[in-house]
Chains A and B, each alone.
Chain A
Amino acid sequence: MTSLLPWIALLLPLASMFVILLATRSLRTLSAFISVAAVLGSFVCSCLIFFQQTSAAAAICWIDLAPLFSVPLGLTLDPLSRSMLFMVTGVGAVIHIYSLGYMSADAGKSRYFAGLSLFMFAMLGIVLANNFVMMFIFWELVGVSSYLLIGHWFERPAAAEAAKKAFITNRIGDFGFMLGILMVWTGTGSLVFTEIAAGMAKLTAHPSYLTAAALLVFCGAVGKSAQFPLHVWLPDAMEGPTPVSALIHAATMVAAGVYMLVRVGFLIDASSGALHVIAWIGTITAVLAALMATQQNDIKRILAYSTLSQLGYMVMAVGLASGQAAMFHLFTHAAFKALLFLGAGSIIYMLHHEQDIWRMGGLAKRLPITFLTFLVGTLALIGFPGFSGFFSKDAILALAYERSLPIFAFAAFTALLTAFYMTRLVVVAFFGDARSPHAARGAESPIVMTLPLILLSVPAAIGGFGFFARNFLSLPNETKPVVAVPVIALLALLIGVVSALLLYRNRTTEPVEIELFRNRFYFDELYTALIKSTQGLLAAIAAFIDRWILDGAIVRGLSGGTWGSGFLLRLLQVGNLQAYGFLFGLGIIGLIYFTVFH
């Protein structure tokens, strides 16, 4: 059954953006409500799609040169995209509502909501695309909207820098992604996912070609999902407004990379070499990011590193050839991480943009709803039994245990670290005495902000139970249950929590200083130095080539030559009719000679 519902869900936010930009830019509150209405509309459509189990959408052929090149403009609706659609619009709707409160006094509110609408459009496009071309276009659009939203407070240099960094880092990954798409297209002759899947035989015949293509496609996910070594942009992206961090840099956009990998799972699973690389990239990201998180003081940055680490888990699961486990964790993570970010936003909002956890303290009493919901999010994140994160993380750990023990060891270690840094965050921020005047006077946020917290804490708490999760996605099939996995996971959890409790209870300053972790393994410094030195050298060489070889020899010579020949040819255009007639006749004689005597 074809249905227009997905198109409506997709295009509503776009329409909202245009209305805001063209008509209601000066009416800030109206703009906000238009945007919220659009995303709610999309959400309703997604619910209808989800519960009616609509399976195919109307498809249009965009460019059709059948033997040569054709791009169908089609949407895909399978269980994967249906539940992703539901999740994205659901979380999106909650965060739009939350933004009404968080951004209520912002001067650029219209611009902000237009940006959010653009983002929703682009993100839904990625989710629904049934071919690589559309996905790539929306992929770039997501990058643009992320750039705009990170740089929302562009008058702050840090925000402008962060926006630029995010965009450029993403472009590096996207370049590889594009090459990968071109390789797949060359190999199979199609850009549509289903057709590529059908034509995989052409690719599997050349294993090294396939591996290269899969890894290049993975590059796109490395950029967008902030995997090592392109992870550096995500923490900086926290310069954007907190709802943006929650929506884009925790729940949806950064998950797009994982979603894409699962969507083209048939491609990646076919190459064991690529799988191996992907699994290890995910593992490295998970461990490194967790280590860095233990020494951060900015509440949003802690959450950002935790996001990196959790994304590492998902990519690890993809690399272990289980898209279901990755998607499972993606869903639970979207709920609890959005919840945590919004909770952090609520704190930041009430403390007048104070983000240092050492300047908080004692917030549990003053912001009870925020505290309780934040606690739910934390328990889910560290994988406390019964909460959603427990189930999804357990699925990945079990998978790792079964496939690769070294990866399992790292994953378990990451779980320990996760428990450690989250306990540290909660203990320092919410307990003890208030350590700044703002923290001492803070009060609970308005209902428009606490309601989303409560709404999100429901899936964060119970989202992992099979009876609930099964409605949304196909759960990773349980192989024979191994007792060791949950036991080790619980052990890691306990060690992490207890050590953090012992270390940070009633402290007012950081008791352990590990410079290496605090400075994020000096990645940024390394990249800066690398860029500076190579860039200087490259620039010098390029300038030399440009000035002397390209400009001097080739361009001047060529343009001199072309201009010269142009002048010469113009001489033929004498304006004399007899001369023209002569040339005309000469042309005919030349042609006949060429044809007959050649």
Chain B
Amino acid sequence: MSYLELLRLAAPEAIVVLTAFVVLTIGLVTGRREAGDTPAATAGLGALVAALGLAIAAATIVRLPGHATLFHGMLVVSPLNSLFQVIVLVLAFFTVILARGERLLPNKGEYLAMILLATVGLMLLIGSEELLMIFIGLELTGLSLYVMTAFDKASQTSAEAGLKYFLFGSMASAFTLFGLSLIYGFTGTTSLAAIGPRLAEQALPPLLFVGIVMTLIGFLFKIAAAPFHLWAPDAYQGAPVSTAGFIASGSKVASFIVLGKILLIGFGPVSGSADWHGLIAGWTPILAVLSALSILIGNLVALVQKNVRRLLAYSAVAHGGYTLLGLIAGGRAGFSATLFYTTIYAVTLVGAFGVVGFVRRENGGDDLADFAGLRARSPLLAGCMAIFLLSLAGLPPLAGFFGKFYLFSTALRAGANHGLLWLVALALFGSLISLYYYLIVLKVIFLDENAQATPAVARYDFEMRADYLPKMTLLVLAGAVLLLGIIPGTLVARILASFG
């Protein structure tokens, strides 16, 4: 194993790190001259470099060899990993563009650099099949995201959200690390591929289950599954909008793929069963319980929210619950359903948070009332939001419908005698509730009159030249949600093919 080979295989990550440094330097050199706002030109240059770096990294991934493994799985190149690294890069790319809209943030250069570092963390998470490396990726992502969440220094809620996110994240990490050490103690290895066979050949002591549960905590925290979701509403509401979007999208996609790999590859032999009649101990019943809890809590609490970002946060908890269904179902079909759903969910949420960002800038808030009459002010934003929310609610022909159909039907077929029927029924019930609160938002957007109408200011803001790019991005995202609903086969086929 030569270092040249290492550099070649780790080139995408290296490129993103390098870009982060360049962006940081640009911010340092030019950004601190005046207090408060970053000069527009600098911010533009930084964003351009960041976007370029992400694009180059994505291009590099495409040119990597099909399969390669470094250091017992610390860095694994496979079609699946490459596909999702590209997806994460694309999500980061959109985040960078949408961050352009947030003019209130100071020190744009540092902010962009944190986005890029978080992206590196996600890429490592996805690209590694070794527990220690996964943990490092988890931490790198987490620390970057904590900083990003607290970045809006002028806002008290941002600082509070950052602190809560950080403390919770640390707790979760501590549990995960403890769990990892237990797993290592039982199996003597940290490579996912090796853990499976070792677990299969020994009797399973209760302490091992403790280890498994603890290992999962860190990921369940990331995907905001109840009851580890308590940070999410505050973080989604308090963080800068683009950060919230990134937490809800990129971080979730990476967490689900790692969770899936750990469970299906590493802990495969101790899966157990979550069938209604045939409960067998293992991680499946744990996930089933958490999934049910997430669906119930997320949807019920979302009903009473008055703030759109909090509403999206609770609905994210519920969507996390749906997405777990695929992992509970297991197998190739289940995993691909989970990955498909989390991908389209990520695309949808980046877009939804983009719209929220615009509204927030225009009205200074993101409560439901601030969305009143959005249709009249900006039909484009209102239309995009309608597509995003209806997709989240799962109405055809949008991507969310097919995603849910795929997930639920896979789960229904997984257990013997439709053993997972109870969970699918619960998920359907949850979707029904969710339709209600999504429609409430749309009702406010399309039917309610704008109470604190300030059309002159609004129009001025909305015609800013710098908004052109973010708006086009929203349109692209909405188009993607529609297209993935009409021809979902392309992405599904890609995911299935990448399993090899």
Which A positions have Cβ atoms within 8 angstroms of B? 61-65, 67-69, 562-563, 565-567, 569-570, 572-573, 575, 577, 580-581, 583-584, 586-588, 591-592, 594-596, 598
Contact = CB atoms under 8 A, between A and B. Distances in A.
A68 B333 contact: yes
B492 to A, nearest CB: 6
Interface string B248-269: 0000000000000000000000
A108 B279 CA distance: 66
A569 B297 contact: yes
Given A584-B230, A592-B209, A577 B167 contact: yes
Contact of B289 (A68, A592, A594, A596): A594
A565 B298 CA distance: 11
B79 to A, nearest CB: 18
A562 B175 contact: no
B288 to A, nearest CB: 10
6 contacts: A63-B487, A63-B489, A65-B333, A577-B164, A588-B214, A598-B281
B488 A63 contact: yes
A591 B210 CA distance: 9
B286 interface: yes
Given A577-B167, A588-B217, A596-B206, A567 B304 contact: yes
B304 A566 contact: yes
Contacts of A567: 304
B168 A588 contact: no
* Residue among B175, B228, B300 having the largest count of chain A Cβ atoms under 10 Å: B300
A596 B210 contact: yes
A567 B227 CA distance: 17
A596 to B, nearest CB: 4
B483 to A, nearest CB: 13
Given A563-B303, A570-B301, A577-B167, A62 B227 contact: no
A376 B172 CA distance: 87
B30 interface: no
Contacts of A587: 226-228
Contact of A65 (B213, B285, B286, B492): B492
Given A562-B300, A592-B209, A595-B209, 15 more contacts: A62-B487, A63-B487, A64-B493, A67-B413, A563-B304, A566-B302, A572-B230, A580-B164, A580-B230, A583-B227, A584-B168, A584-B172, A584-B227, A591-B213, A591-B289
Contacts of B303: 562-563, 566
* Residue among A65, A573, A575, A588 having the largest count of chain B Cβ atoms under 10 Å: A65
A566 B302 CA distance: 8
A587 B234 CA distance: 19
Interface in B300-317: 300-304
B111 interface: no
A595 B333 contact: no
Contacts of B233: 573
Contacts of A594: 285-286, 289
A567 B487 CA distance: 40
Contacts of A62: 487, 489
A575 B164 CA distance: 9
Contacts of A598: 279, 281, 285
A587 B226 CA distance: 9
A567 B164 CA distance: 22
B11 to A, nearest CB: 33
B286 A595 contact: yes
A581 B171 contact: yes
B289 A562 contact: no
A562 B234 CA distance: 22
Contacts of B406: 65, 68
A586 B227 contact: yes
A591 B228 CA distance: 12
Nearest to B293: A587
The main secondary structure of chain A at its interface with chain B is helix
Nearest to B301: A569
Contact of B433 (A67, A562, A570, A591): A562
A569 B226 CA distance: 12
A495 to B, nearest CB: 57
A61 B490 CA distance: 9
Nearest to B409: A68
Contacts of A591: 213, 286, 289-290
A67 B168 CA distance: 41
B158 interface: no
Contact of B285 (A562, A570, A577, A595): A595
A573 B230 contact: yes
A226 to B, nearest CB: 30
Contacts of B231: 580
B410 interface: yes
Interface in B458-500: 487-489, 492-493
A222 B163 CA distance: 67
Contacts of B164: 577, 580
Contact of B304 (A67, A69, A570, A596): A570
A563 B226 CA distance: 19
Interface in B403-439: 406, 409-410, 413, 433
* Residue among B213, B410, B493 having the largest count of chain A Cβ atoms under 10 Å: B213
A595 B281 contact: yes
A592 B210 contact: yes
Nearest to A580: B230
A220 to B, nearest CB: 21
Nearest to A61: B489
B101 to A, nearest CB: 28
* Residue among A566, A569, A591 having the largest count of chain B Cβ atoms under 10 Å: A591
Contacts of B333: 65, 67-68
Nearest to B303: A566
B301 A573 contact: yes
The 4 closest A-B CB pairs, nearest first, are: A587-B227, A566-B304, A580-B230, A596-B206
A376 to B, nearest CB: 47
A592 B206 CA distance: 9
Interface in B328-343: 333
* Residue among A62, A572, A584, A596 having the largest count of chain B Cβ atoms under 10 Å: A584
A69 B405 CA distance: 11
A333 to B, nearest CB: 37
Given A584-B168, A591-B213, A64 B489 contact: yes
Interface in B17-66: none
B227 to A, nearest CB: 4
A74 B283 CA distance: 42
A584 B233 CA distance: 15
A70 to B, nearest CB: 8
Interface string B271-302: 00000000101110110011000000100111
A259 B108 CA distance: 65
Contact of B213 (A569, A570, A592): A592
Contact of B301 (A566, A581, A588): A566
Nearest to B209: A595
Nearest to B207: A596
Contacts of A69: 409
A580 B217 CA distance: 15
B209 A596 contact: yes
Given A562-B300, A580-B230, A586-B227, A595 B213 contact: yes
Nearest to A565: B300
A7 to B, nearest CB: 16
A515 B167 CA distance: 87
Contact of A588 (B213, B283, B410): B213
A569 B233 CA distance: 13
Contacts of A583: 227, 230
A211 to B, nearest CB: 28
Contacts of A563: 303-304
Nearest to A558: B433
* Residue among B233, B297, B303, B409 having the largest count of chain A Cβ atoms under 10 Å: B303
B321 to A, nearest CB: 14
Contacts of A566: 300-304
Contacts of B492: 63-65
A592 B493 CA distance: 38
